[in-house]
């Protein structure tokens, strides 16, 4: 037998026919429907603001916003019905009537390729509105232009009918109405909070624009200053610095918090993953402040606690994906300066001038930088030792079971980046269950040992002194900020009991204290696992292999008392109830669906109105008697009388 490899065949591949019949050409709409992730990122059901149904809405709104940015139309109407039908009406110029069908159904067809017509538009590749069309069961587009109107109706991207030209007295503009396909976006629901945030951001970036969401009006007079005031969760230590230029607007302040917090936009697009403009802004702010004070400060000390927003307008922007969450452009335009130089020159002049005129603000910033520098130097030795310890611990074997794909290892696959997750668990049994049935491609597991430390009121030194938190931040790769985050989703997976709730609170306190932007950017989730299993006694021997919800095996997994009651009513006297006291009691096979595609995970949010500082002080501070009285006054005793404890 020869030891040489036969490179012409391999195993069963001899049975696979690869001829001309295997080569197919998909219609444009079929390609989008088969590969939606290429066009809109992840699909989802609307429980996450990055889910596809919001991308569909954005694609339509972006076209309306572009009209406003070109000086046409001061109002945009948005209506979303409870059953998920979306209607967007702008008052721009209206699509040229002879091209209404083409712009909605012919790829690479649009009016934005010529920068004279749409000099600084968000979308330039003529794909977005086509993706909305292809991924909707019903899509209607109507254009009104100078007393005439034309409309077309599609289903799943296929033209059903188009109207002849009609006369009308309606104002110029475009109306788009669509219903996302429920076979693609399963059980989807538009959440008002997420849509409202989207609408508000558009108004912050377009002063003078009025948007109506289901009749409620939104507008902004102060642009990014209003945006920062809306999102800031800690009081700034000085009035925000608000600067404007021809194609740039920035707002800068500091708060007594750790880390850095940025909101960046390009041509009205919220670049949640940053890009060349955000990197240039961070570098330029630090350099300008360093030169202003004439001190050899480290950039990290200058930016520690900084909260800022930047919006720029770029000709023919290049984004790193169709979802446009990260800018890749190096230049402001074909004949313009680089993005970095444009931002640097603006800040070097405007920010430096502001600080010379506002000496009290300049003094406050200097004091904040010096405090950050002092703390960093005080913990320099501790940090070095902690980092060396983290390396010696052999992180990947002792604490972290990594996945094959995480954010820094995947290039160009937006969908896989979004799926990258890490479960933070406590206890060997829970860790074992998740580890056994996780998707090793995208899901990692970090195992805690007992309850973590209460970090409320502590300085950053505690992160490095405490082994659990030192190793956790190393696993997440957030020591230098969340831009290096290795997992898009950080999922806290603890038992559904008092101890589990306490561990969740301790972990959230840690993130809120030292990495608040991790929560603000929507990366932190709480895994929901069932509290009860309700079985049909007649089929009890076959349980354990069922899917979530009532299925052929007669088993229901219940996440609330109400779901339990409903399951008992369905089965009557044949109901057999098990109360799960911990994740370790759930078998790996049962756990499979709980962390699979239909996983229930609640995103942790952080808003100004949450009054987080007061909440943390009450629940995690040293006021033990007050908490004891609160518990006594709000004690609820669970009735387990109908639960069959096995």
413 pLDDT band, cuts 50/70/90, is: low
Q: Which residue has the tokens 């840690």?
A: 510
221 pLDDT band, cuts 50/70/90, is: very high
Asked if residues 199 and 78 have their Cβ atoms less than 8 Å apart, the reply is yes
Average the pLDDT over each of 202-211, 454-463, 617-626 and give the range with the smallest value.
617-626
* 302 vs 282: CA distance, rounded Å: 10
Per-residue CA distances from 517 to 75, 144, 261, 270, 482 (Å): 33, 44, 6, 16, 7
CA angle 442, 42, 519 (to 5 degrees): 75
Average the pLDDT over each of 119-128, 412-421, 493-502 and give the range with the smallest value.
119-128
Alpha-carbon dihedral sign for residues 113, 115, 116, 120: positive
Strand order from edge to edge, sheet including 400-401: 400-401, 443-448, 421-426, 489-493, 524-527, 601-603
Asked if residues 534 and 564 have their Cβ atoms less than 8 Å apart, the reply is yes
Token digits of residue 443: 């899901």
Residues 112-120 have a mean pLDDT of 51
* Nearest Cα to Cα of residue 558 among 524, 530, 594, 592: 530
31-35, 332-336, 420-424, range with greatest mean pLDDT: 420-424
What pLDDT does 571 receive? Answer: 84
Asked if residues 150 and 100 have their Cβ atoms less than 8 Å apart, the reply is yes
Per-residue CA distances from 546 to 69, 533, 549 (Å): 53, 11, 8
Q: Which residue has better confidence, 105 or 252? A: 252
Token digits of residue 118: 């749409």
> Per-residue pLDDT tens for 269-327?
888 888 899 999 999 999 999 999 999 999 999 999 999 999 999 887 887 766 677 88
Token digits of residue 82: 């409870």
Contacts of 416 (CB under 8 A, 6+ apart): 405, 410, 441, 442
SS3 category, 532: strand
pTM of the entire predicted model: 0.78
Residues 452-462 have a mean pLDDT of 84
List the alpha helices (DSSP H) in 336-438.
339-357, 359-378, 380-392, 395-398, 414-419, 428-437
Q: Measure CA of the first residue to CA of the last residue in the chain; give whole Å.
A: 60
Q: Which residue has better confidence, 640 or 586? A: 586
Name residue 535's beta-bridge partners. Answer: 555, 576
> Per-residue pLDDT tens for 342-368?
999 999 999 999 999 999 999 999 999
Angle of helix 276-293 versus helix 359-378 axis, rounded to 10: 100
117 pLDDT band, cuts 50/70/90, is: very low
* Nearest Cα to Cα of residue 150 among 95, 73, 88: 95
Residue 395: pLDDT above 60? no
Residue 469: pLDDT above 80? yes
Residue 422: pLDDT above 90? yes
Task: Give φ, ψ of 209 to 5 degrees.
Answer: -90, 135
What pLDDT does 168 receive? Answer: 94
633 pLDDT band, cuts 50/70/90, is: confident
Percent of the chain at pLDDT exceeding 70 = 83
Could you tell me whether strands 248-254 and 261-266 are parallel, antiparallel, or unpaired per DSSP bridges?
A: unpaired
> Per-residue pLDDT tens for 49-77?
888 999 999 999 988 998 888 889 899 99
* Nearest Cα to Cα of residue 445 among 453, 462, 433, 456: 433
Contacts of 260 (CB under 8 A, 6+ apart): 282, 303, 304, 305, 306, 307, 308, 481, 517
Asked if residues 443 and 403 have their Cβ atoms less than 8 Å apart, the reply is yes
Q: Which residue has better confidence, 347 or 13? A: 347
DSSP code at position 51? S
Helix H, strand E, coil C: the string for 585-642 is: HCCHHHHHHHCCCCCCEEECCCCHHHCHHHHHHHHHCCCHHHHHHHHHHCCCCCCCCC
Contacts of 422 (CB under 8 A, 6+ apart): 403, 443, 444, 445, 446, 475, 476, 486, 487, 489, 490, 491
Could you tell me whether strands 210-213 and 75-80 are parallel, antiparallel, or unpaired per DSSP bridges?
A: parallel
**For the chain, which domains are there?**
32-218 (3.30.565.10), 224-378 (3.30.230.10), 380-528+602-610 (3.40.50.670)
* 578 vs 384: CA distance, rounded Å: 49
* 231 vs 264: CA distance, rounded Å: 13
What pLDDT does 423 receive? Answer: 93
> Per-residue pLDDT tens for 423-448?
999 877 677 788 888 888 889 999 88
């Amino acid at each position: 037998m020869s030891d040489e490899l036969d490179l012409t065949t391999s195993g069963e591949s001899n049975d696979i026919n690869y001829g001309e019949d295997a080569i197919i050409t998909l219609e444009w709409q079929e390609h989008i429907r088969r590969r939606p992730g290429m066009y809109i990122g992840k699909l989802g059901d609307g429980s996450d603001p990055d889910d596809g149904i919001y991308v569909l809405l954005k694609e339509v709104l972006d076209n309306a916003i572009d009209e406003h940015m070109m000086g046409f139309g001061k109002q945009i109407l948005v209506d979303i019905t409870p059953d998920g039908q979306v209607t967007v009406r702008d008052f721009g110029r209206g699509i040229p009537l002879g091209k209404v069908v083409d712009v909605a159904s012919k790829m690479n067809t649009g009016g934005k390729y010529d920068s004279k017509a749409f000099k600084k538009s968000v979308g330039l590749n003529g794909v977005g509105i086509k993706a909305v069309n292809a991924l909707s069961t019903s899509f209607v587009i109507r254009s009104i232009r100078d007393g005439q109107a034309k409309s077309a109706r599609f289903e799943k991207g296929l033209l059903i009918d188009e109207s002849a030209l009609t006369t009308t007295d309606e104002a110029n503009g475009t109306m788009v109405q669509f219903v996302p396909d429920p076979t693609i976006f399963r059980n989807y629901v538009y959440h008002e909070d997420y849509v409202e945030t989207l609408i508000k951001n558009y108004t912050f970036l377009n002063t003078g624009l009025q948007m109506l969401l289901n009749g409620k009006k939104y507008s902004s007079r102060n642009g990014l200053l209003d945006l920062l005031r809306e999102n800031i969760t800690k009081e700034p230590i000085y009035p925000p610095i608000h600067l404007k230029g021809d194609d740039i607007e920035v707002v800068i302040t500091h708060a007594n918090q750790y880390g850095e917090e940025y909101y960046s936009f390009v041509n009205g697009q919220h670049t949640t993953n940053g890009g060349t403009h955000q990197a240039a802004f961070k570098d330029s702010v630090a350099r300008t402040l360093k030169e202003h004070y004439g001190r050899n400060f480290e950039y990290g000390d200058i930016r520690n606690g900084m909260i800022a927003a930047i919006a720029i307008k770029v000709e023919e922007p290049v984004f790193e994906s169709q979802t446009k969450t990260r800018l890749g452009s190096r230049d402001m335009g074909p004949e313009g300066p680089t993005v970095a130089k444009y931002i640097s020159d603006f800040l070097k002049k405007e920010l430096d001038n502001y600080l010379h005129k506002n000496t009290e603000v300049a003094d406050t910033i200097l004091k904040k930088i010096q405090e950050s520098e002092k703390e960093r130097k005080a913990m320099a030795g501790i940090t070095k030792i902690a980092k060396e310890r983290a390396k010696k611990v052999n992180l990947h074997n002792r604490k972290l079971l990594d996945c094959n794909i995480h954010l820094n290892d995947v290039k160009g696959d937006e969908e896989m980046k979004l799926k990258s997750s890490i479960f933070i668990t406590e206890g060997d049994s829970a860790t074992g269950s998740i580890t056994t049935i996780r998707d090793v491609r995208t899901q990692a597991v970090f195992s805690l040992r007992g309850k973590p430390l209460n970090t409320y009121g502590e300085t950053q030194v505690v992160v490095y002194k405490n082994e659990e938190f030192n190793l956790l931040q190393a696993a997440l790769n957030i020591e230098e900020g969340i831009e290096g985050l290795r997992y898009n989703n950080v999922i806290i997976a603890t038992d559904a009991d008092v101890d589990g709730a306490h561990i969740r609170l301790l972990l959230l306190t840690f993130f809120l204290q030292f990495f608040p932007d991790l929560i603000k950017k929507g990366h932190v989730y709480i895994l929901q696992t069932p509290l009860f299993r309700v079985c049909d006694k007649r089929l009890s021997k076959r349980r354990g292999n069922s899917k979530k919800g009532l299925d052929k095996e007669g088993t229901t997994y219940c996440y609330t008392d109400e779901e339990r009651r409903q399951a008992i009513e369905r089965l009557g006297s044949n109901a057999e109830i098990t109360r799960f006291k911990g994740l370790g009691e759930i078998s790996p096979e049962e756990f499979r669906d709980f962390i699979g595609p239909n996983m229930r995970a609640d995103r942790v949010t952080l808003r100004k109105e949450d009054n987080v500082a007061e909440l943390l002080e009450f629940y995690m501070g040293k006021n033990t008697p007050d908490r004891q009285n609160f518990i006594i006054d709000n004690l609820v005793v669970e009735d387990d009388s109908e639960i069959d404890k096995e």
